Amino acid sequence: MKNTKPAAANVVSLKQILNLIPLGMIHRISNETEIGKMARTFSVVSHLTAMLFAQLSRSIGLNDVCDWLRLKAPVLARFGVTPPSRNGLSHANKERDALFAEKLFWSVLGHLQHTCPSFATGKKGKGLLRRFKVRIHAVDSTVMQLVANCMDWAKHRRRKAAAKMHLRLDLHSFLPSFAIVDTAGEHDNKRAREVCAGILPGEVVVFDKAYVDFAHLADLDQREVSWVTRAKDNMKYRVVKNLAKDNATIVKDQRIALKDKHHGMILRRVEAWVEVDGQMRLMAFITNNFDWSGQTVCDLYRRRWDIEVFFKQVKQSLKLGSFLGHSANAVKWQVYTALIVYVLLRFMAHLAEWGHSFTRLFAVMRSIVWERICVLALLKSYGTASGRFRVLGSLNQAWLPGFAPSTS
């Protein structure tokens, strides 16, 4: 720590975080979703506070959340929050529509982006993101394993249950721009149209080959959206024209036409040498853009790995490894409150010009959740290492093998 002592605050850090969510927004959305009618002694605000605290504290279960909040009842009473009972919190997660948490997440994100436009645009960074003046989106999904009690709605395999979150990430701001939480039994390409529906003409989207649906890719092309993905091994095509290769790592750069039911669809196929597990291997990419260089196509796909870093941050820091309830509604409550906490912490880090990783940010916030410390002052004064670090992190293992950033 630096010698500068952070200023004291009138309220605990948990309340300072909650103050970023307008109270009127909570009441408005609770009326829209009609969950306010179900609230008597345990208000919607108290319910939301309990779920956000569960994320910040990484509580191990319902008893942990409720016992901890009950011990802090005098502190919570000062800002109108009632500690829940175990059964009360469990029942609220099961019966109160999780659409409230979903709508609140998007409303909070929009509010913070409107309040601070630089938070919405993010830092352009270096290299590829600086070269592109349009938004670049990454699309992917992550599986969250569930217990056997969820078999009735989330059966994934014969003896396993799982939920899946499909997400579109804005790579400039490193903030979600679309999310769906559903069961893991459905193939990713069934959700491709929904996840990409909000992408505007001229923008770029990058996704894994699990999302490849050629009818959807043709629709993106008609909407003037550029896309990059991996080519499937069983893709049937014929070469229309061989294009010029721009460097030695590019083996083939071709204009191709698909066969079978997608007969006549014209794409670009780029085949390049990539280092995987210490060995060079050929990887093939497809895109609808013929203006980029072959290396740019490879670089764009490399940026897709940033969404894996996002999932890693959220699942390792916040509480998405185990769940407080077994119903589909309870799981959605927990996922969307995790995303709310992520956005709130990222916003505070942006205001304080936080120079360290998100993991370290979460550790600091977790340790001071009941302290009367000015959070922004603390984050501005915090640090034991010189230099600047991106909040999204830059661990070497976070990069797709063969696509690690150059150190030169």
pLDDT tens, per residue, the chain with 408 residues: 444 566 677 889 999 999 999 999 999 999 999 998 877 788 999 999 999 999 999 888 899 999 999 999 999 999 899 999 999 999 999 999 999 999 999 999 999 999 999 998 876 555 666 778 888 999 999 888 776 666 565 666 656 777 889 999 999 889 999 999 888 777 888 889 999 999 999 999 999 988 998 999 999 999 999 999 999 888 889 999 999 888 888 999 999 999 877 777 899 999 998 766 777 778 899 999 999 998 899 888 888 888 888 998 888 888 887 888 888 899 999 999 999 999 999 999 999 988 888 999 999 999 999 999 999 999 988 754 444 444 544 333 444 444 554 443
Q: Quote the pLDDT of residue 195.
A: 92
Residue 307 lies in a domain: no
Q: Quote the pLDDT of residue 321.
A: 78
Q: Quote the pLDDT of residue 314.
A: 87
Residue 109: CB atoms within 10 A of its CB come to 23
Residue 232 lies in a domain: no
Q: Residue 92, class by beta-carbon neighbours within 10 Å (0-12 exposed, 13-18 middle, 19+ buried)?
A: buried
pTM of the model: 0.86
Residue 94 lies in a domain: yes
CB 335 within 8 A of CB 75: no
Residues in the chain, overall count: 408
> How many distinct structural domains can be found in the chain?
1
Residue 179 lies in a domain: no
Residue 333 lies in a domain: yes
- Token code pair at residue 102: 């979903």
Q: Quote the pLDDT of residue 382.
A: 75
CB 305 within 8 A of CB 398: yes
Of 82, 48, 101, the residue nearest 332 (C-alpha): 101
Residue 195 lies in a domain: no
Domain extent for 374: 13-101+329-396
Strands 155-157 and 175-183, bridge-based pairing: unpaired
Residue 298 lies in a domain: no
Strands 226-230 and 204-207, bridge-based pairing: parallel
Residue 314 lies in a domain: no
Q: Quote the pLDDT of residue 320.
A: 84
Beta-carbon contacts of 134 under 8 Å, excluding residues fewer than 6 positions away, are: 202, 203, 204
Q: Quote the pLDDT of residue 397.
A: 41
